[in-house]
Every structure is written in structure tokens, then in C-alpha cells.
Structure 1
Amino acid sequence: MNLLSRNERLTVILRLLSKHKTLSNTQLAKLLQVTPKTIRCDLVYLEQEKQVIRIHGGVKRSEDLDVNAYSLDSLLSRLTSCRAELDLVNQGGNILKNKIFVLGSFNVDIVAKLERFPQVGETLHSQNYKIGAGGKGANQAYAAAKVGARVTFMTKIGKDQFSHFAKAHLASTEIDSTIIVESDTSPTGNALIYVCEQSGENMIAVYSGANIEITQEEIQQAEQHIISSSLFLTQLENNIEAIKQAMMTAHKHKVKVVLNPAPYHENTPDLLEFVDLITPNETEASLMTGIEVTDLDSAKRAAEKIKLMGVNTVVITRGAKGALLYENGNFKEVEAIKCAVTDTTGAGDAFNGALVAQIAKGETLLDAARYANAYASLAVEREGAANMPDANLIAARL
């Protein structure tokens, strides 16, 4: 985790207290990676502001606790709330119009940067090493929230040394609501990532851990959150049975279903009858269709075949070549944006999160894809899959 500003630390502390009645000074110092003295100063300040009550060795929530009191986005939240009230009057009560439900993974990313990728049997020294937050679900939920969508994110983690890290990270993001289920048997998922300094490209090995233990019963418990949303987004880093049940629930209640089929799973075709929009990359499109996608023509053939498989709207992301859209029998291209590539880890997640956020706002597929393409181009200029850029940078990039 990067060091947080004071306001960010205060916001994380309050969000954690909104979910846990008490926290110890030691826990907070470890999670926020600051000294116990810094934590004590933060807690003294919060007590003076009547946000918390200090106890021996820790702190507990007060009745006046305001989760967003020190968030830089608190003013924006109040303005959004006012807009929602106006929507309630003008749209007959539909204040949940732009809410997005994301079911997906949380992983701890262990990242090593190399001058080049190693050959088989070769050992290379990494130029640096760090641990960060990741997982396609968490990244996409964060990206959607970062560009202004109201997001509920559901995931499953272990009860291990990474569980506090996961909770602290999610609490520090702009994601509105998190549903975190904990496994008694499996650890938090993790990913080993090599990043090539020369090209910014990456190689990733994922250990799913608790992500694939999410159950159909746990999905049922979140049903009201799913059906109260306008859009449902998922990937394939959880177990297929739970994913399918969540998609069926959304589809049954007319919630738009978006599938990012990554990483590709052999049972992906079984899910397509419940999907409104699918967003494979070239590799995933190739695996889905048996058509090797190497250029624009082969991408178009793959999109047409996916349409025949049951999905009406297809977006094939093509990395540095932009994206291909297929909707209502028509093809449209979104050209790549020139940028200084640092790390492509999480680029697809940035694209998907921004795309669904714009679609939930009512934008056309083409405008949403252009926006998402610009957002992804900003993301690859940063290190780390979860290091999502601010939305206010997108207008200049477009």
C-alpha cells in the first residue's frame, strides 16, 4: 500500500469502524503502515471531533461517526445525493438507476519488475518488488467507482495475514459498499506478476484461493443488492456455479449483465444465454470461437461468431490496437490512444470498469468505449493493477 495522506488515513479508520465496533492501535498502525505515534495523533484528533471514542489500546466508534467526514470526495457525495433526490422527483422514484453490482475476485498482487522476461529455466534478478491490491473484480469495481459510478462489490477472502490488507484497501477506495465473505479453509487469492520494463507488458500466474469458494447460498444472501442494480458485472476468477447463479438472478430481474470472460474458462459458453454484453480480449475471443484473432478481419469474424453463440453486443479489446465494437449487426472501431506505457497490468480492468460506469449513465456503447479507452490509456502509464487514475484526467486525454 502506498503511504496515505492524513485525510485518507482518517477516512480509512472511519470506514473500518463503520464495519467493526473496535480496532486496536496496533492493527491500525500495521494496516496503514505508519508509526503507533502517528495513529495515536490521528485518534486523538478524531476523538476531539467526536467521531470516535478512545479506549485502552484502541478505539471504538461513536454515535456521531461520519464515514465521509474527511474524504476529499465528501462534497461530491453531497452533490450526488442532491442530484439523486432530484431524480427521485423527476423519474418517479428511480434513485438506483446508475448502481452497479460487481461480483469478482480480490487478490494480493506480488509484483516483480524485470528488464525482460526470463527464458525457461533462467533466473533473473528483479529490479524492484512490491505487494499491492489486485484481482479483476476488485480492480474493475474500483475503476467504475473512480469515474463516478455507485458500486457494490462482492468478494470472498481468507482469514489470513492478507485479510486485513484486503479490508483496508477496499475501505480506502471510492467503492460505495462491499460484501466481504470470509473462508475458513482457503487463503486470500494472490497473483504473481512479472512486468517487463522494456515494453510494460506483463505475465501473471493467479492462485484463486478463497475466490473460488464463494457459494450459491452466499450469492442468494446478496440477491437484493443484485436486483436493485441497473447493471451487473462479473469476470471468471470465481467459481462458475456461483457466477452463473448471480448472472441468472440479474437476467431474471432485467438487470443488464456484462461479462468480462477473463481468465477464459471452458464453461464460458454455458453462461452466454444470460449475457447482454461481453468484453473479451483477442486471446479470449480466440479461445471462445476457435478463430485465431490476429488482425481486424479475424476480430470481426470472431465477434460475429460470438453473436451467433448468443450475445448481442460484443466488445473485443485489442490492446495497443484499440477496440472493436459489434452491436446491432454493425462494426465500429475505437482507435488506440498514444501513451507512455509503464505497466499494462490492470489495463483491461480499467477499461471494463470505466465502460460499465458510462453505460450505466446512459451513454451509447461507442461513447462509453471511447471514454474507457482513454481511461485505460491513463492506467497503463501508472505502476500497479489497482492504481486507477482520477476521472478528471480523461477529458484532456480524449
Structure 2
Amino acid sequence: MAPISETPVVIGSIGELLVEFVCAEKGGRNLVAAPYIGPFPSGAPGIFIDQAARIAASFGGRAVFAGAVGDDAFGRVVLDRLVADGVDPGLIRVVPGVPTGSAFVSYNDDGSRDFVFNIGHSAAARMPGLDEIAAGFLAAGISVLHISGSMLGDVAMRATGLALCERLVDQGVAISIDPNIRAELISDAGYIGALQRIIAMAGYVLPSDADADVLWPEQAFDAWSARLLAGAAQVVVLKRGDQGCIGRDAGGIVDLAAHRVSVLDPTGAGDCFCATLVTLLAAGQALPDALARANAAGALAVQKLGPMEGNSGLAEIDALKG
């Protein structure tokens, strides 16, 4: 693929890095003894940045991440994957004496999921300090900072993420937000307030259906997306899972049906979708083309077991997109 922009795009993200274990049996809700498959490298921001690195590399771009893992085998699982896929690890701390963060997921017959997270009491919450992260991102020349709402459940991580957004916006960096609301991670009333503040300053707002039901209950996409576009947002996208996606910018609305594929594991598909979309938009691709590729990237992701195992490059994406 020829370069989309004259200046290669650099994407940044921050937040929890985890290993994930997937229950091999459905319906147990993490309450019943059963085999678990893992460890898989995970964490919503980690999945995002891995996919962003793969996409950006196609046209000379880069991806940079700020976070932390433990000095243990699970930390190696995460860090080795990110580095292998091209993520700059300069702002990823390796914390001795503290275990790498984890997530355990159990699926139900109706497709719903139950999670058990260990973030706040793990290395995941021991990121570098705000000043170090901001300086590192600016030195790297990032054009977009992506935030996953999953990092806002921990009070200290939330404060760092919010302050970082405010600081980088003032330096001309665009903010991308995937609300990614997880009930298991909402520790106090400040979660939604912080999320709303980030949404208000974001250039890319990328909720799922479930997120939109929490943030804008009983409101149609046309109404709340118009309000966001009247503010800081340049692009608003509603992720609808097996119903496809709707995107909107100043040029109008793009509505895409989902690809019909066999779903093995949907965890991480939304992060993969967001990374593909944001990286391509930041590189200058028009919304219809970027959204079509993101839609295909999400469809590829759900076909592999493990939240990062279905991440893909542009060649695979374009082969499915047609």
C-alpha cells in the first residue's frame, strides 16, 4: 500500500496490560472449576496498540505504548508480543516483585461474558508517571492518543489518563476514546464523569451499542452523534457487533453491515476495529474506506481464540473486505 500521508502517523495509547485466560466451558460464570486456556496477551489498550502497530507499519508509521507489566513469565508473554508486532516499548515499565495484571473470562450460551480482572493490585496500575509519559509521547511525535474506558476503573490510572488527555490536547494531539464500559471495573462514581470529560475533548468517539445505552439512554445515533460533531469530535462511530457499524463525520453517515463469519471469541474485536479505524483516519484515509477496513478487521478478530490472536495486517483485511 502506498503511503496515505506525507508524514508517517504515530499512534499512542496508555493503560492496562494483562494476560487473559479463557474458560473452555460455557456457563460457569467463573464460579465453577473448569479448564482455562491461556495465557494470552491482553488488556484493551494493549490489543489496540498491537493492531495499530500492524496497520501503521504498512505505510511507515509507528505505535507507542505507556504501561507496565510484572517481572514474571506473564509479563514476558505480553511484552514479547507487543515488541514482535512493532510496538515501541520505551514507556512500558517492568515492575519487579509485582505480578502482571490478569483477566479471566467465561462465556455464556447467549454470548454474554463474565470477567474477573486484577488491575489495581497488579503491575498494570504501576505505569510511568504523567510527566514521563507526556514527554515520551511528545518526543515520539504522536498525532493521536487512544484511551480505552477500561483504564478508568482504577482511580490513579484514571487521574493520569485524564490529565494526559488535557495536556496533549493543548499540544495539538487528537484524542480517541473507546468508552469500553465494563461494570466489573467501575469502582466509584468518578468513572463516568471522567469518561464524559474525555469524550468532550475527543476527536474520535467510538462507543459500542452497550456504551451508548449507558451514555445516551433512549437516544438515537443521529441525535447524540450530531451533538458530538458540533463539539470537538471529527468522527463518531457506533460499533454494533454482528449488526455492523455506523460512522459519521462532516461528510455524512456511513452504515455497514457486518461480515458473516463464524464467531469463536469476540473479546478484543472492538479494540482491533478501533485501532484500524483510528490509524487509517489519522493517516488521511476517508471515513468510508477506513470504516470498511475496520469492519473487516473486527470480523477477522472474532475468528481466533484469544483477544489479540485475531489481530491482522492490511493484506488480510483487504482480502476479506474485497
Q: Is the 8 A contact 2:40 2:77 kept in 1?
A: no
Q: Is the 8 A contact 1:107 1:134 kept in 2?
A: yes
Q: Does 1:217 align with 2:131?
A: yes
Displacement of 1:379 = 0.9
Q: Does 1:150 align with 2:58?
A: no
Aligned to 1:234: 147
* One-letter amino acid matched to 1:151: A
Instruction: Tell me: CA distance 1:217–1:361, structure 2 relative to 1, closer, same or farther (3 Å).
Output: closer
* One-letter amino acid matched to 2:85: T
**Gaps spanning 5+ residues in structure 2: where?**
152-156, 183-190
1:186-235 CA deviation, whole Å, 9 max, x = no partner? Answer: 53211111245x66654333221333333323324424336x12222221
Displacement of 1:268 = 0.8
Q: Does 1:179 align with 2:91?
A: yes
TM normalised by structure 1 equals 0.67
1:283-318 CA deviation, whole Å, 9 max, x = no partner? Answer: 1112222x147xxxx343443455577545321101
Aligned to 1:190: 102
Pairwise CA RMSD:
2.9
Q: Does 1:207 align with 2:126?
A: no
After the TM superposition, which residues 311-390 of structure 1 pair with which residues of structure 2 at under 5 Å, given as runs?
311-328=233-250, 330-387=252-309, 388-390=311-313
* One-letter amino acid matched to 2:158: I
After the TM superposition, which residues 1-398 of structure 1 pair with which residues of structure 2 at under 5 Å, given as runs?
95=7, 97-114=8-25, 116-118=26-28, 123=32, 125-126=34-35, 129-147=37-55, 148=58, 149-183=61-95, 186-196=98-108, 202-208=113-119, 209-214=122-127, 215-225=129-139, 228-238=141-151, 239-263=157-181, 265-266=191-192, 267-289=194-216, 291-292=217-218, 298-304=220-226, 306-307=228-229, 311-328=233-250, 330-387=252-309, 388-398=311-321
Q: With a CA cutoff of 8 Å and minimum separation of 6, indicate the structure with the bigger relative contact order.
A: 2
Partners of 1:258 and 1:284 in 2: CA distance: 15
Aligned length: 299
Partners of 2:287 and 2:143 in 1: CA distance: 16
Asked which structure has the greater CA Rg, the reply is 1
Identity of aligned residues (%): 20
TM normalised by structure 2 equals 0.81
Partners of 1:193 and 1:393 in 2: CA distance: 27
Partners of 1:169 and 1:218 in 2: CA distance: 23
Question: Is the deviation greater in 181-190 or in 317-326?
Answer: 181-190
Partners of 1:186 and 1:124 in 2: CA distance: 26
**Gaps spanning 5+ residues in structure 1: where?**
1-75
Q: Is the 8 A contact 2:91 2:133 kept in 1?
A: no
Partners of 1:171 and 1:153 in 2: CA distance: 11
Instruction: Tell me: CA distance 1:391–1:307, structure 2 relative to 1, closer, same or farther (3 Å).
Output: closer
Partners of 1:119 and 1:212 in 2: CA distance: 25
* One-letter amino acid matched to 1:108: V
